[in-house]
């Protein structure tokens, strides 16, 4: 057998110098930074930046959406004023409803042999705390949602922001869920029928405002979404492997 780099029966043993050098950590960091710089440059080419002129916002956003939203805001403020004026009577009615429902549940549990050993019990305060907490929370939620929606809808047109539209739609969705839930919880159908009409007006106007922001003209005016290009990432990872 020859020395290192010699041959064994016609087979050549490679020298140590022929092996691929293992890059150092600093070299790996430089490669990563170069790749990030390249992908960032390509991203700026592929997607429009906020500084590019986009033209005036479409009428569906600056007119239609705002008209519908202001109608919803007026209905929401009317509901908030009604809650504020009748806060005491609404809390009392809610407490009575919760107590009645609990008494019915206790009676049904006591009638069943399987639950007779451990029936539910009435809270010590008779739901006084919960009944006097929910209406003020609902009042503050109405005002807070309106303020958030106003700022986000303004951000869509003023700041040319697709993200603001997405968050605005999420806030509208939360409000749409809260409107029928609150009306049912406070029994507006029995105690204040006119507020049911106001609530459904707010519901419909909010839905129309959201649909206006989803019009095709608004989608073309807003910046293109930065979608994740999975194929490029896979090719990049494959090149490093």
- Does residue 119 fall inside a structural domain? no
Comparison of pLDDT for 29 and 157, the residue scoring more = 157
Task: For residue 204, give its domain range.
Answer: 59-88+129-220
SS3 86: coil
193 within domain boundaries: yes
Residues present in the chain in total: 241
* 72 is a domain residue: yes
Q: How many domains does the chain have?
A: 1
Identify whether 117 is part of a domain: no
User: Which ranges of 10-125 does DSSP label H, i.e. alpha helix?
Assistant: 25-46, 59, 65-85, 87-111
Q: Decide if 63 is inside a domain.
A: yes
- Would you call 39 helix, strand, or coil by DSSP? helix
The pLDDT of residue 239 is 47
Q: What is the pLDDT of residues 66-78, one digit of tens each?
A: 999 999 999 999 9
194 in a structural domain: yes
Give per-residue pLDDT as tens, 26-59: 777 788 787 777 766 555 444 444 445 568 899 9
- Please report the pLDDT score of residue 41 as a whole number: 55
Q: Which two tokens stand for residue 68?
A: 């519908």
Separation CA 130–CA 209 (nearest Å): 34
Neighbours of 164 (CB within 10 A): 20
Distance CA 213, CA 204 (A): 15
Q: Tell me the CB-side half-sphere exposure of residue 94, using CA atoms within 13 A.
A: 24
Residue 12 CB coordination number (10 Å): 9
pLDDT tens-digit readout, 177-231: 999 999 999 989 888 999 999 999 999 999 999 999 999 999 999 988 765 554 4
Return the pLDDT at 147: 97
- What is the per-residue pLDDT for 120? 66
- Report how far residue 57's alpha carbon sits from residue 54's, in angstroms, rounded to the nearest whole number: 8
Long-range contacts of 153-159 (CB under 8 A, 24+ apart): 153/65, 153/66, 153/69, 153/209, 153/213, 156/61, 156/213, 156/222, 157/57, 157/61, 157/62, 159/50
Q: Is residue 148 part of a domain?
A: yes
Does some domain include residue 181?
yes
pTM above the 0.75 mark?
A: no
pLDDT in tens, 100-128: 888 887 777 777 755 555 666 777 676 87
pLDDT reported for residue 32: 78
For residue 144, CA distances in Å to 140, 175, 179, 209 come to 6, 10, 14, 18
Q: What is the pLDDT of residue 48?
A: 47
Contact 126, 135 (CB under 8 A): no
């Amino acid at each position: 057998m020859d020395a290192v780099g010699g041959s064994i029966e016609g087979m050549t043993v490679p020298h140590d110098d022929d092996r691929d050098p293992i890059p150092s950590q600093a070299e790996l960091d430089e490669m990563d930074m170069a790749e990030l710089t390249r992908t960032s440059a390509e991203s700026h080419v592929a997607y429009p930046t906020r500084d590019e002129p986009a033209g005036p916002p479409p009428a569906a956003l600056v007119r239609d959406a705002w008209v519908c939203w202001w109608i919803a805001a007026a209905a929401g403020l009317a509901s908030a004023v009604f809650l504020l004026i009748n806060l005491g009577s609404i809390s009392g009615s809610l407490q009575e409803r919760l107590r009645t429902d609990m008494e019915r549940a206790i009676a049904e549990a006591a009638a069943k042999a399987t639950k007779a050993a451990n029936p539910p019990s009435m809270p010590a305060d008779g739901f006084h705390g919960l009944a006097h907490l929910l209406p003020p929370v609902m009042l503050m939620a109405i005002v807070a949602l309106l303020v958030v929606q106003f700022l986000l809808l303004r951000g869509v047109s003023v700041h040319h922001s697709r993200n603001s539209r997405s968050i605005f739609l999420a806030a509208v969705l939360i409000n749409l869920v809260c409107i029928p839930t609150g009306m049912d919880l406070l029994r507006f159908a029995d105690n204040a029928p006119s507020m049911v009409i106001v609530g459904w007006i707010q519901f419909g106007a909010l839905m129309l405002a959201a649909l206006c922001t989803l019009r095709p003209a608004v989608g073309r005016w807003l910046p293109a979404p930065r979608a994740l290009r999975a194929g490029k990432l896979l090719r990049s990872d494959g090149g490093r492997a």
